[in-house]
């Protein structure tokens, strides 16, 4: 196998049209969502695709993510051997701090190339599949709750979905209690219900409100208070029977070490966009697993490329055992950029088994969502 070199990098700033409104404790999404699609070309003709899914209130802006790739990472990548993923990502980490989603996009595209070159799926490259199918969690986040109940009934009937994550903390506690009661009534008794506040509660009254919410017996309660209010999270974790999950409070392996040390949650949501790629996400999984903290496969507003990367991650990482919310490319994005869309069967997402990310990109669809090209 001869040398392979990176010859060209195209960064698309994109606007994803959305099929539904989404409301969260931390902010709302309507009409379109900004994002980034990355194409890395090589002299061997192999092409790798990556995606960054930034959200300004949570991680990063799409413009910053696109600029990080096109102005700062690109000079480190052009002419380099794409198979040296670890070395290239180390160089990028050294050159630019933060920008986890931009780094995730680059690592994704490099792994896509490496997998295609070796004829192996990314999940095989990172250690091999532990799971072929991942239980799918769908989020209930529409401000129009009746519309969301119809959506829930539809995904149960058509896709066999059995896990629902209710977004709370964006109106009032009384309204959240009403929504939980109606959801319990509408869903089958076997439904696995989880709750995500996205930092929406004030610590002073959080424990009293959460004790009422836990009468609905959710599997876990995610990120009740602000990202940096870890002492309050620790108090809530100790006060409640229901396990508390850290999402915004744990991005990367350094945060994971602090979670293990300070025990401010019993569970963690792992996202490649927070961690800065699959390798870092697996470090978060390893650190937390050693401390008995089980993980969930989280996402941002991700289209098919990022979801495919997430599927390979969860497939090969046993500690991400609480299912994953790999539904956005199928149910939320108004344009599908994969010629081979993510498959959902009997309430589970199927890990793609082709080489690399195992998905084919529809380049015309990419052009339809692209609003600017950088680099």
Residue among 74, 103, 116, 167 flagged as catalytic: 167
Q: Minimum CB separation from Mg ion for residue 95, in Å?
A: 29
Q: Determine whether 167 is an active site residue.
A: yes
Between residues 117 and 230, which has the closer beta carbon with respect to Mg ion? 230
Between residues 104 and 359, which has the closer beta carbon with respect to Mg ion? 104
Residues 151-210 that bind Mg ion (CB under 5 A): 196
For residue 173, give every residue at least 6 positions away whose Cβ sits within 8 Å of its Cβ, in sequence order, or none: 209, 212
Q: Minimum CB separation from Mg ion for residue 325, in Å?
A: 9
Between residues 155 and 273, which has the closer beta carbon with respect to Mg ion? 273
Between residues 247 and 348, which has the closer beta carbon with respect to Mg ion? 247
Token reading at 112: 């896509």
Size of the site for Mg ion (CB under 5 A): 3
Q: Minimum CB separation from Mg ion for residue 75, in Å?
A: 35
Q: Minimum CB separation from Mg ion for residue 65, in Å?
A: 19
Between residues 39 and 165, which has the closer beta carbon with respect to Mg ion? 165
Residue whose C-beta lies closest to Mg ion: 247
Which residue stretch of 29-37, 202-210, 246-254, 357-365 sits at the interface with Mg ion (rule: CB under 5 A)? Answer: 246-254
Q: Minimum CB separation from Mg ion for residue 24, in Å?
A: 8
Q: Minimum CB separation from Mg ion for residue 126, in Å?
A: 24
Between residues 16 and 301, which has the closer beta carbon with respect to Mg ion? 301
Residues 206-245 that bind Mg ion (CB under 5 A): 222
For residue 136, give every residue at least 6 positions away whose Cβ sits within 8 Å of its Cβ, in sequence order, or none: 159, 161, 163, 323, 324, 325, 326, 327, 344, 347, 348, 349
Among 148, 192, 247, 289, binds Mg ion (CB under 5 A): 247
- Catalytic residue positions? 167
Which positions touch Mg ion (CB under 5 A)? Answer: 196, 222, 247
């Amino acid at each position: 196998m001869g040398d392979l070199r990176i010859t060209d990098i195209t960064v698309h700033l994109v606007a994803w049209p959305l099929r539904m409104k989404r409301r969260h404790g931390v902010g709302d999404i309507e009409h379109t969502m900004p994002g980034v699609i990355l194409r890395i070309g090589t002299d061997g003709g192999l092409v790798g695709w990556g995606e960054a899914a930034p959200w300004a209130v949570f991680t990063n802006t799409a413009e910053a993510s696109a600029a990080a790739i096109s102005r700062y990472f690109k000079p480190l990548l052009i002419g380099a051997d794409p198979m040296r993923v670890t070395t290239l990502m180390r160089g990028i980490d050294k050159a630019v701090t933060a920008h986890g989603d931009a780094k995730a996009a680059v690592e994704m595209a490099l792994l896509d190339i490496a997998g295609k070159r070796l004829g192996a799926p990314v999940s095989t490259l990172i250690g091999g599949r532990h799971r072929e199918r991942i239980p799918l969690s769908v989020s209930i986040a529409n401000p129009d709750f009746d519309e969301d109940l119809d959506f829930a009934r539809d995904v149960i009937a058509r896709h066999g979905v059995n896990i629902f994550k209710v977004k709370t903390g964006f109106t009032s506690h009384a309204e959240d209690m009403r929504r939980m009661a109606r959801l319990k009534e509408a869903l089958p008794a076997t439904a696995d219900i989880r709750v995500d506040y996205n930092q929406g509660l004030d610590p002073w009254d959080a424990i009293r409100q959460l004790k009422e919410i836990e009468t609905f017996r959710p599997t876990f309660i995610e990120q009740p208070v602000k990202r940096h209010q870890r002492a309050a999270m620790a108090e809530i974790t100790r006060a409640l029977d229901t396990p508390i999950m850290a999402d915004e409070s744990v991005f990367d392996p350094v945060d994971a070490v602090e979670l293990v040390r300070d025990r401010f949650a019993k569970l963690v949501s792992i996202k490649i966009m927070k961690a800065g790629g699959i390798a870092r996400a697996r470090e978060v999984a390893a650190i937390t697993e050693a401390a008995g903290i089980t993980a969930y496969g989280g996402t941002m507003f991700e289209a098919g490329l990022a979801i495919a990367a997430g599927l390979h991650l969860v497939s090969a990482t046993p500690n991400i055992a609480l299912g994953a919310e790999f539904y956005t490319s199928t149910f939320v994005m108004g344009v599908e950029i994969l010629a081979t869309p993510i498959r959902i069967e009997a309430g589970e997402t199927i890990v793609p088994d082709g080489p690399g990310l195992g998905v084919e990109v529809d380049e015309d669809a990419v052009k339809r969502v692209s609003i600017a090209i950088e680099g």
